[in-house]
Amino acid sequence: MSESTKKWYVVRAVSGKEKKVKLHIEDEISRLGLSEYVTQVLIPTEKIYQIRKGKKISKERSFFPGYILIEADLVGEVPHVIKNVNNVIGFLGAEKGGDAVPLRMVEVNRILGKVDELAESDEELNIPFIVGESIKVIDGPFNGFNGTIEEINEEKKKLKVMVKIFGRKQPLELSFLQVEKES
């Protein structure tokens, strides 16, 4: 089997069940001896950092929730096997229920490049905040207070937040990890 016939496809799965689906697909493929047709099954993930009980913890989060990338040669029963795995909705394609449409190499490289970049940048925090946004302080002496973001310092990973304390607005400088978006 020549390597060049394999293309990358996107499998839609029930969100939150991506890891289970990946394992089931890999198990089915090896059980049925179809390993030569399916090279890789990937879940693009990113590392995020949170503060829990005063400690910084890292967690892996799916970069594209509900989607799994598969490098495969979709011949014979391979697409049928993949579609019949529990929690698989189907392949991403041009029309519903139609044939799977392969990703272009440019898209694959961008996604895989992004995945590698996210895996390497261990300490990198994305900036999930915007000026004017309402936040809640979750760590430190002002825990429980609500405020509005005035400035964002990306280098220091700090926010200047205006918090109402005893009816008066006070500016606070807080770390990205000390606040969360107000829901």
What is the tens place of the pLDDT at every residue in 123-135? 555 567 888 999 9
pLDDT band at 6 (very low <50, low <70, confident <90, very high): confident
Q: The pTM is what?
A: 0.58
Q: What is the pLDDT of residue 1?
A: 45
**How many other C-beta atoms can be found within 10 angstroms of the C-beta atom of residue 45?**
17
Range with lowest mean pLDDT among 80-89, 109-118, 160-169: 109-118
Class of the CATH domain delimited by 3-120: alpha beta
100 CB-contact burial (10 Å; exposed 0-12 / middle 13-18 / buried 19+): buried
- What is the C-alpha to C-alpha distance for residues 81 and 91, in angstroms, rounded to an integer? 12
Q: Is the pLDDT of residue 65 over 70?
A: yes
Topology of domain 134-181, CATH: SH3 type barrels. (2.30.30)
Higher pLDDT, 123 or 70: 70
Mean pLDDT rounded to a whole number for the chain:
83
- What tens digit of pLDDT does each residue of 146-181 get? 999 999 888 788 899 999 888 889 899 998 888 888
Domain positions in the chain are: 3-120, 134-181
Q: Are 137 and 119 in contact (CB under 8 A)?
A: no
